[in-house]
Amino acid sequence: MRTAEQWTSRTLGRNAALVLGWRRGSRIVGGRLNLARDMNSALRQRARAALAQIGERTPRSYDAAAQLEDDEVFLLDVDQLPSHPKRREPGKRSGAEIESPPDEQEEASALIDLLAKPGSLDPLLADGVRGRIFLFYAVVFTGRDSSIAFLKRHNPGAVLKTDRLLGLLGQDVTRIEDPVLIFEPDFDLIIEGNELAALTPTALRRLFIDLDVAAAAVPAHVAELRRLRRLRFPESTLETIAKACAKRRLLAGRLQSLIQTEHLAKLTVEMVKAYVAGIDEDPRRYIRDGKLVVTEEDVGALIDVLDQRHYRGGYDKLLRRADRTSVIRQS
């Protein structure tokens, strides 16, 4: 994997391309906007600043629950992104079975393919883009051997969605009616080949965990829970989880994060019971007759339990919920 110094010393290809990305269903797709030559140097300057920032920050190893501080950077390979195991056996798929949504690894791979050759993307017409919602913009510099993409999770046309009136200051102030794009001074993510550098704390999560998509994927995630034979979810509990997540999109996002954790497949009801007892909670809140049973109000709490979100303060010993977690040491 590339070091921070190698990222910093990376040269940028001569040609710049601007890509806008959006979601079509659960897939990320993109198109290319033509750039005037005078945009090249301005965007190049921002891209170089982003590369320089990598060298100024502390590299962190990535895990799904990890969070970044402002002076840190994730340097990772696409293989390190969460991927849920494909448990479906060949030939066993029934017609009623729900298609699993792409996981972060699949989404990142699709994004890498999308940005690797911006010349392959269909050109977007300015008037077709005006006032529309986009997931991100990316500036891709292409050189002799490879391309490097600088991605910002921001809708560059968002300024026109706020009903602002834009005027051009001259002898007479005239209304700007053409589409306006706003480019942020920084980038969230840098992608080259199969490697990524994430510069903002939520770059990866916000890009790949779309709450609308997570909400739409609730049935698929519940189907994943059903396949966890060790945890023995009764159908009534699965229905309760599905109902609660369908009502609350943020809960759906948390369920999606839980599904992508590696430890979930190894959990047993006994392990959950021990965990709940360890935080001085009554296990009967979640476990009855050796099965996981919850009310709709307790679905969020159960997701926290399964996602091991609790910890005790080192000094005051108070029970807390970890909203942001990072694995510091693997052992």
Partner 1 sequence: MSDVGPRYSPRAELTEAAARARLFLSSYAALFGILAIRFDGLALRLVCLGLCLIGLADTFRITHSARSRREPYVITIDESEDTGGEVSGYLASYLLPFVTVSAPGWRDLLAYSLFLVVGLVIYVRSNLVRVNPTLYLFGYRVLRVRYNTSKKQYLLIRIAPEIGQMLSVVDVAGVMLDAGGDDADC
Q: Catalog residues that contact partner 1 under the rule CB under 8 A.
A: 11-17, 20, 22-24, 29, 31-32, 34-37, 39-40, 117-120, 123-134, 142-144, 147
- Closest CB 292 distance from partner 1, rounded Å: 36
In the block, which residue shows the tokens 């269903």?
25
- Closest CB 269 distance from partner 1, rounded Å: 41
- Closest CB 220 distance from partner 1, rounded Å: 21
In sequence order, the β-bridge partners of residue 136 are 21
CA distance 138 to 90: 38
**Is the alpha carbon torsion for 279, 285, 288, 293 positive or negative?**
negative
- Closest CB 192 distance from partner 1, rounded Å: 12
Map residue 314 onto helix, strand or coil: coil
Nearer to partner 1, 36 or 328 (CB): 36
CA distance 318 to 124: 55
Nearer to partner 1, 33 or 272 (CB): 33
Question: If you compute the radius of gyration of the chain from its CA atoms, what whole number of angstroms results?
Answer: 23
Residues with Cβ < 8 Å from 156, sequence gap 6 or more?
Answer: 20, 134, 137, 181, 182, 183
Of residues 86, 24, 94, 96, the one with CA closest to residue 259: 86
- Closest CB 140 distance from partner 1, rounded Å: 8
Nearer to partner 1, 142 or 261 (CB): 142
- Closest CB 37 distance from partner 1, rounded Å: 5
Nearer to partner 1, 117 or 227 (CB): 117
Nearer to partner 1, 12 or 204 (CB): 12
Nearer to partner 1, 131 or 234 (CB): 131
User: Residue 6: CA atoms inside 13 Å, Cβ hemisphere, count?
Assistant: 9
